[in-house]
Amino acid sequence: MVDLTTQIGSLTLKNPIMPASGTFSEELAQLFDLECLGAHVTKTITREKRSGNPTPRVCEVRGSMLNSIGIPSKGLDAFKANVIPFYERYSAPLIVSISAGSADEFASLCEDISVPGVAAIEVNISCPNIEEDGKAFAMRPSTTYAVMQKLRQATDLPLWAKLTPNTGETTEVAKAAEEAGADALVVSNTLLAMAIDIHTRRPKLGNLMGGLSGPAFKPIALRMAYQCAKSVNIPVIGCGGISTVEDVIEYLIAGAVAVQIGTATFLEPKIMVRMIDGLDAYLKSQGFQTVGQLVGSVEDEEASDGLVFMEAAP
Amino acid sequence: MSVVTFPKSPVQTEMTPVFEVSCTVKRNDPVNGEYRQLVLYAPQSILDCAPGQFFHLLCPITEQLQPFLRRPMSIYGFYPEKGELHFLYKVTGEGTSALATLTAGQSLNVLGPLGHGFDILPDWQNLLLVARGVGLATLAPLALQAHRLGRNLTAICSARSEDMLMSLDYFRDLGAEIIPITDDNGSSDMANLRHIIEAKIADTGIDAMYTCGSNRILKLLQTLGEIHNIPGQIALEQQMACGIGMCQCCVRAFRRDGKTVNERVCREGPVFDLQEAIGW
Ligand SMILES: Cc1cc2nc3c(=O)[nH]c(=O)nc-3n(C[C@H](O)[C@H](O)[C@H](O)COP(=O)(O)OP(=O)(O)OC[C@H]3O[C@@H](n4cnc5c(N)ncnc54)[C@H](O)[C@@H]3O)c2cc1C
Ligand SMILES: Cc1cc2nc3c(=O)[nH]c(=O)nc-3n(C[C@H](O)[C@H](O)[C@H](O)COP(=O)(O)O)c2cc1C
Ligand code: FES
């Protein structure tokens, strides 16, 4: 028997596979028993009702996709009344993703969502900070620190900070989140991107730009997960482009203690179930007893010291 | 605005099963220039369908064609008795071009059945369907269902030219009255279409109207629905990623109770109340 459990701060997950925010919902229960997942992560919510961005909200690019869904939200009350109770039937921990336009609003939403049934809060600090210059909180160490500190004071639940790949200061942002009290990092959200229809000359997304996700994005998110794992002591949850069990293994080797699966679920809705089985089989075949033995086992030796903090082309 | 509100059939619950399965292609033949019919051998589990529902197809990857997302496709026919699932599609871009490469014996991964289909309420005897182009694919199984339920169906089939009219035999075999109209002979213009429908209303009466695809037909049916107090439904399309309700990319705006609401085409739709639909 291989032990698939993984530890994220005070939370023990029965396996390291969970969905990414915005690519998962109650509807997936129509395809398989959601109980098998390491955790459940909900679409980001805001306090107020929001309708999201104009359509088209998705388009595909070679081997990947762009989305500009935005954060349509039915609001906090509807979420508490409908979504949290749905997940009560499962023992897998429920992770609620939240967002807000200012540090204070973020903190007050965080406080109000710290209710029974919620195991941890994922803070989507990749969203724009309206009070500053509209840039995402997680673009800079200073704004990351400021918002995470307020969030830390607002809840006793574990706080996972979801980082953005659009920053040039990955390790500094990661350390700022850790210092301000984050319990884990989710690395990462989508990368800002664009596609234009050459026949109509119109941007393919109604919002003009959107986030790249899927296989083409994987090397970038993997690089970030690796940098973060090297530079902080809190657990790193890898996310970005994972579509096969080999990708899961790669992230674990890079230092992630768990992974989130997004776009791949759109193509293969039961992919997470297959990954859990595949990971189990892989660990057995390699003679590992626990997932932990694989985590961070990358053979980078002393070369890592210089490379981790590199934010320039080699 | 919304004088005739549509009684919605029960919404799919989180637990209504959806299947992701590999089917074997029986055939995949051209129907006319732009359209193809794909026939799959399908397990019974996925053939418990409703007209208006759709499947999300994982199109094959070839050397030249690499569609990434799945492609939504209406059920053209579902036959539990012979274990077949049919699609009628127009080759437009990368995904449908890749679909067109499929040959007998190859497999195709399908996800479904998905969405909320057409309703045929118990007291609706006389049904009218107005379809144009590939909209026929979406409305065809409604004819099948009407036939199975013993209802009268009139199908107004519109196309650019005589030879682009598809599925007439399909409807005829199901006992539907067929009224073909074309752009070539001018019979498909809105004034004539209105004339045909109002004559039908005066003659046998119409209990419900169904359509999809065309903005002008939508407008006309909304007007007639209001004047004559006839309910209706429309099947709509939107770009999709997940197809099952998770990603929120497929929303469209609808008018309801004086407000504009966003609904997911893959989940609350693809079939919606005719009067609530907003033209595009
Ligand atoms: C519920 C539903 C049922 C449908 N039923 C049928 C049917 O029975 N027969 C048929 O021929 N077509 C049908 N369509 C349209 C069909 O999905 C598109 O023609 C197809 O996705 C085009 O893909 P492509 O790669 O060939 O074209 P491209 O233009 O290259 O597609 C690019 C992207 O846009 C999306 N897209 C393009 N056109 C549409 C569209 N009209 N609706 C939604 N997404 C689109 C594609 O899925 C793809 O992601 C249906 C659409 C929906 C939403
Ligand atoms: C359609 C869609 C919606 C998303 N919505 C959210 C969201 O609400 N909150 C969030 O933090 N991330 C959101 N994401 C980002 C994903 O959670 C994930 O970080 C990203 O897609 C990279 O992973 P992937 O390549 O496996 O998809 C969304 C991604 C997609 C594709
Ligand atoms: S396509 Fe994902 S919600 Fe409709």
Q: What is the pLDDT of residue B9?
A: 45
Q: Is B18 in the pocket of ligand 3 (CB under 6 A)?
A: no
For residue A208, give Cα distances in angstroms to A53, A127, A164: 10, 17, 19
B247 touching A, CB under 8 A?
yes
ipTM of this model? 0.94
Give the rounded percent of residues in chain A with a pLDDT score beyond 70. Answer: 95
Atom of ligand 2 nearest to the CA of B246: 1
Residue A22 sits at the chain B interface (C-beta within 8 Å): yes
User: pLDDT of B251-265, one tens digit each?
Assistant: 999 999 999 999 999
Residue A87 token pair: 């997940």
Which residue in chain B is spatially nearest to A25 when comparing CA positions? B246
Share the mean pLDDT of chain B: 91
Which residues constitute the domain of residue B21?
2-114
Report residue B218's pLDDT band, with 50, 70 and 90 as the boundaries.
very high
User: What is the 8-class DSSP label of residue A238?
Assistant: E
What b/e string do you get for B179-207 counting C-beta neighbours within 10 Å, with b at 16 or more? bbbbeeeebbeeeebeebbeebbeeeebb
Task: Please report the residues numbered 43 through 62 in chain B whose beta carbons come closer than 8 angstroms to any beta carbon of chain A.
Answer: 58
Q: How far is the CA of B62 from the centre of ligand 1 (A)?
A: 19
Contact with chain B for residue A200, Cβ under 8 A:
no
pLDDT (0 to 100) of residue B175: 86
DSSP state of B221: H
Answer with the one of B83, B114, B145 that is the final residue of a domain: B114
Residues B130 and B231 in one domain: yes
A255-281: average pLDDT: 98
Q: Give the residues across from A238 on adjacent strands.
A: A187, A259
A120: alpha, beta or left? (left if phi > 0; alpha if psi -120 to 50): beta
- List, for residues A154-179, the tens digit of each pLDDT value: 999 999 999 999 999 999 999 999 99
CA distance B26 to B214: 31
Looking at the domain assignment, is residue B243 inside a domain? no
Residues B14, B89 within the same domain: yes
Confidence band, pLDDT 50/70/90 cuts, at residue A314: low
Give the atom of ligand 3 at the shortest distance from the alpha carbon of A266: 2
Q: Does A137 touch chain B (CB under 8 A)?
A: no
Of the candidates B115, B126, B120, the one whose C-alpha atom is nearest the C-alpha of residue B153 is B126
3-state secondary structure chain A: CCECCEEECCEEECCCEEECCCCCCHHHHHCCCHHHCCCEECCCECCCCECCCCCCCEEEECCEEEECCCCCECCHHHHHHHHHHHHCCCCCCEEEEECCCCHHHHHHHHHHCCCCCCCEEEEECCCECCCCCCCEHHHCHHHHHHHHHHHHHHCCCCEEEECCCCCCCHHHHHHHHHHCCCCEEEECCCEEEECECCCCCCECCCCCEEEEECHHHHHHHHHHHHHHHHHCCCCEEEECCCCCHHHHHHHHHHCCCEEEECCHHHHCCCHHHHHHHHHHHHHHHCCCCEHHHCCCCCCCHHHHHHHCCCCCCC
pLDDT at A305: 62
Nearest ligand to the CA of B249 is: 3
Report whether residue A190 contacts ligand 2, using a CB cutoff of 6 Å: yes
Amino acid B1: pLDDT: 37
Mean pLDDT, residues A106-120 taken together: 97
Asked if B248's CB is within 8 angstroms of A72's CB, the reply is yes
CATH of the domain at B159: 3.40.50.80
Which A-chain residues 262-281 have CB contacts (< 8 A) with chain B?
Answer: 265-270
Asked whether the beta carbons of B140 and B88 are under 8 A apart, the reply is yes
| B238 Cα to the center of ligand 1, angstroms | 8
B105 and B162 inside one domain: no
Q: Is the residue at B272 inside a domain?
A: no
Ligand 3 center to A140 CA (angstroms): 33
Euclidean distance between CA atoms B76 and B36, whole angstroms = 11
Same domain, yes or no, for B101 and B135? no
- pLDDT band at residue B247 under the 50/70/90 scheme: very high
For residue B270, is it within any domain? no
pLDDT over threshold 70, residue B4: no
The rounded mean pLDDT for chain A is: 94
Given a contact cutoff of 8 angstroms between Cβ atoms, the answer to whether A163 and A137 are in contact is: no
Share of chain B above pLDDT 90, in %: 75
Q: Give the model confidence (pLDDT) of A173-214 as tens digits.
A: 999 999 999 999 999 999 999 999 999 999 999 999 999 999
pLDDT for the residue B165: 77
Q: Which atom of ligand 1 is nearest to the CA of B238?
A: 43
Q: Where do we find the tokens 């309206």?
A: A130
Count of positions (residues) in chain A: 314
CB contacts of B15 in chain A (<8 Å) are 29-30
- Quick check: CB of A224 below 6 Å from ligand 2? no
The pLDDT tens digits for B123-173 are 999 999 998 877 888 898 999 899 989 999 999 988 888 877 777 788 888
Chain A residues within an 8 Å CB radius of B12 = 30
| Mean pLDDT for the stretch of residues A265-273 | 98
Query: B217, B235, B253 — which closes off a domain?
Result: B235
What's the average model confidence in pLDDT over A211-234? 97
Which residue's CA lies nearest to atom 9 of ligand 1?
Answer: B89
Backbone angles phi, psi at B20, to 5 degrees: -115, 110
Q: How far, in Å, from the CA of A90 to the mean position of ligand 1? A: 36
A97 contacts in B (CB within 8 Å)?
none
Report yes or no: B68 at the A interface, CB cutoff 8 Å: yes
Residues 189-228, chain B: which have Cβ within 8 Å of A? none
Is residue B97 located within the same domain as residue B166? Answer: no
pLDDT grade, residue B43 (50/70/90)? Answer: very high
Q: What residue has token string 């026929």?
A: B136
pLDDT attached to residue B5: 47
In a domain, B214, yes or no: yes
Residue A310: band (very low, low, confident or very high) from pLDDT cuts 50, 70, 90: low
- Best CA proximity match to A221, nearest among A239, A204, A203, A207: A239
Domain boundaries, chain A: 6-52+71-192+214-308
Q: How many CB atoms lie within 10 A of CB A200?
A: 8
CB distance B251–A72 less than 8 Å? yes
Judge whether residue B32 has pLDDT over 90. no
Q: Is residue B69 part of a domain?
A: yes
> Half-sphere exposure of A160 toward its Cβ, with a 13 Å CA cutoff?
32
- Residues of A involved in catalysis: 127
Beta-carbon-side half-sphere exposure of residue B278 (alpha carbons within 13 Å): 12
A24 has a chain B CB within 8 A of its CB: yes
Residues of B whose CB is below 8 A from A25: 245-246
Of A28, A65, A270, the CB nearest to B69: A65
Q: Rounded CA gap, A203 and A195, in Å?
A: 6
Q: Is the peptide bond before A56 cis (omega within 30 degrees of 0)?
A: yes
Measured CA to CA, the distance from residue A296 to residue A250 in angstroms comes to 10
The span from the CA of A14 to the CA of B39, in Å, is 42
Residues B94 and B134 in one domain: no
The CA distance from A104 to A38, in Å, is 31
pLDDT at A45 over 70: yes
Q: In the listed set B69, B90, B114, which residue is the last one of a domain according to the structure?
A: B114
Residue of A nearest to B261 (CA): A51
Closest to B68 in 3D by CA, of B60, B80, B78: B60
Q: What is the least distance, in Å, from the CA of A154 to any CA of chain B?
A: 29
Please state the domain count of chain B: 2
Same structural domain, B70 and B169:
no
| DSSP characters over A92-125 | SPEEEEE--SSHHHHHHHHHHT--TT--EEEEET
- H or E element, residue B87: strand B84-90
Determine, yes or no, domain membership for B205. yes
- Taking an 8 Å cut-off on Cβ atoms, the answer to whether B70 and A267 are in contact is yes
Packing angle of the helix pair A218-231, A245-254 (nearest 10 deg): 30
Kindly tell me if the per-residue pLDDT of B2 is higher than 90. no
CATH number, domain A6-52+71-192+214-308: 3.20.20.70
B129 — phi, psi (to 5°)? -125, 130
Question: Residue A280 pLDDT > 80, yes or no?
Answer: yes
Q: Can you read off the two tokens belonging to residue B272?
A: 């919606």
Which residue of B20, B68, B250 is in closest CB contact with A65? B68
Ligand 1 pocket (Cβ < 6 Å) reads: A 60; B 54, 67, 69, 71-74, 88-90, 92-96, 134, 137-138, 237-240, 265, 270
What percentage of chain B has pLDDT greater than the value 70?
95
Which residues is B212 bridged to in the sheet?
Answer: B235
Q: Quote the pLDDT of residue B15.
A: 74
CB contact under 8 A, B248 and A268: no
Model confidence, pTM: 0.95
A113: which 2 tokens?
A: 């969502």
User: Band of the pLDDT at B34, cuts 50, 70, 90?
Assistant: confident
pLDDT band at A11 (very low <50, low <70, confident <90, very high): very high
